[in-house]
Amino acid sequence: MAGYRNLMVSDVVDGARSFNVNDWSTRQVYIALGNFMTSAASAALLGVDTCPMEGIEPVKYDNLLGLTAKGFMTVVACAAGYRSEEDKYASLAKVRFLKSEVLEIL
């Protein structure tokens, strides 16, 4: 395994592709986020809801969680929790538009 690790580090971390590593890592996080949210949606039978958040201040998250010292950085945040039984909006009818109002087929 050491040989493979050295190969990956010399290529992705220190090599020609190192300038792309943060972009690539960010996309990997979004794949994991999608899996987390899908799993949580499946777990909705248990009452677990999720909501991804952008527009956050990553540096503040990094500082709060001590991520920089660990070599990590914040990309996205996702709240997960239980819906309030007093949520008056949860039982309202959902608004759905016709496909023709939303999509244009090219």
Contact 18, 12 (CB under 8 A): yes
Mean of the per-residue pLDDT values of the chain: 86
pTM above 0.85, yes or no: no
> Does the pLDDT at position 46 exceed 70?
no
Nearest to 52 by CA among 22, 30, 68: 30
Average pLDDT of 7-20?
78
The tens digit of pLDDT for each residue in 57-93 reads 999 999 999 999 998 999 999 999 888 889 888 888 8
Average pLDDT of 34-46?
76
Measured between alpha carbons, how far is 48 from 42 in angstroms, rounded to an integer? 9
> Does the pLDDT at position 11 exceed 90?
no
Contact 77, 29 (CB under 8 A): no
